[in-house]
Chains A and B, each alone.
Chain A
């Protein structure tokens, strides 16, 4: 230690703790948690009522009509949300940790980085799609005002959206909170307005009789694929659930608002979007506003949706930036550098906006592949195998002697189970080609991608525990030590990963 080692004054210490608690990874104490009942409901509602619901509703309108689509979106989203919420909410809330840390007991210190990759792909994919929606919005505003720009305007809009997002995210979370304070109520009002106009101007008969935009030949397969979109949309909340839950002050506040808003309210907003898409016969949300609201209201609504797209993207990239702090090499980088890194994968959307937007439904379904197996493994691991008890020492210590280090940082049963889950998904349903196996009539791909890895992980972990016990008995280790395990417990953290 240097003789002239700098010392931290009280203010610096307080600031550091505050920073690492709210936008970092320190386990949050109860007194530091921001969300009580009203706050938890408001935050979940703000997450749920966002422009990505418009995209999901639009994609679903390609396949099914109003009634079937409504069932797939509301029931599918609620079901998917339930499967990801229960372990994540209860675990992250109990220990005040965020979701990547929560994955370490099941996946291992390094294995959790695999989950991080899925998480980042999810966030960046959504950001890109929403940015294209922003570009489409600019094009359609110009169309409504009598201009006819070329196709380049969408790519230019994406580039503009990226630049504004960068400015917002690098200026700090307070600017983000400020813009969200206006955007969320505004989107709520807009959705209510769309719902009102749809039912007064068009009526339920017109909505329910509207034909899907581009259905396949089999109504059953169309229904199954629409259900995949609904469940995958529920799984997509994986990225936001841990962040909200760690900030809530009670177990019920961690679970019920997430199910009610991320599950139910989001499904309802997706359904309003579905109705709009069916009535206007377009899956592009920026093409609904003028036909539904008329020229003046439509252009104003379009401008508002464009603005909302920017804040949705900003939230998404902000969360991605925080998650990237898990990578040791990025912990020391400036916030601007990290945000620039998250923006680079969005650049293809500037050059090929239409092509990538057309892959949006496949991407949305792919979320089922990515998050289904992880959700299944966490469900079994936290609720059944660990009985809701985790070791924070092992989560925050990279030392090889800790319980969650496993083999070279990976818990192989979970990695094998993720691969098996993804394979089962593609076996049942290929989201790129839209081909389905006959079995999907009885078992949706995203449910199989949840259940199979969950069962496989449980079996593999049981086998691993039995082998460990047998090996320990053969070498004469006492039963109490076998129960406790050979790992180091308690103080000190030898390689703290904060």
Chain B
């Protein structure tokens, strides 16, 4: 008679539980749970592009030997 490994069985049950939890969470995100995550507006983009891309690029060009 084949012996069942209790640790393997427990691991399998844990995996199944996690998969169910994962499905629940994905459905929450699909229902729009990310709506409360705040906004990143075009103004934010302008600030980031100028501050972290254009100005550094200009500085690099300006100080190039």
A-side interface residues toward B, CB under 8 Å? 2, 5-8, 13, 16-17, 20, 26-27, 29-30, 67-68, 71-72, 74-76, 78-79, 81-83, 86, 90, 93-96, 219-220, 223, 227, 249-253, 255-256, 259, 263, 332, 392-393, 396, 491-493, 496, 498
Contacts and interface: CB of A to CB of B under 8 A. Distances in A.
A68 to B, nearest CB: 6
B64 to A, nearest CB: 6
Report whether over half of chain A's contact residues are helix, strand or loop; otherwise say mixed.
helix
A443 to B, nearest CB: 12
A26 B22 contact: yes
Q: Which 8 A-B pairs have the closest CB atoms?
A: A250-B38, A75-B56, A82-B52, A251-B40, A496-B19, A392-B26, A79-B56, A75-B59
Report whether over half of chain B's contact residues are helix, strand or loop; otherwise say mixed.
helix
Most buried by A among B10, B30, B38, B53: B38
Contacts of A220: 64-65
A16 B49 CA distance: 41
Interface residues of B, number: 41
B65 A219 contact: yes
A193 to B, nearest CB: 27
A94 B40 CA distance: 11
B23 A26 contact: no
Contacts of B39: 251-252
A78 B52 CA distance: 6
Given A29-B28, A249-B37, A396 B22 contact: yes
Nearest to B40: A251
B42 interface: no
15 contacts: A2-B4, A5-B13, A6-B9, A6-B13, A8-B14, A20-B18, A26-B25, A29-B28, A29-B33, A75-B60, A78-B52, A94-B34, A227-B60, A249-B38, A256-B48
B40 A13 contact: no
Interface of B: 4, 6, 9-11, 13-15, 17-19, 21-23, 25-30, 33-34, 36-40, 44, 48-49, 51-53, 55-57, 59-60, 63-65
Given A71-B63, A251-B38, 16 more contacts: A26-B21, A27-B26, A72-B60, A75-B59, A76-B60, A223-B64, A249-B37, A251-B40, A251-B44, A253-B38, A393-B26, A396-B26, A492-B23, A493-B23, A496-B15, A498-B15
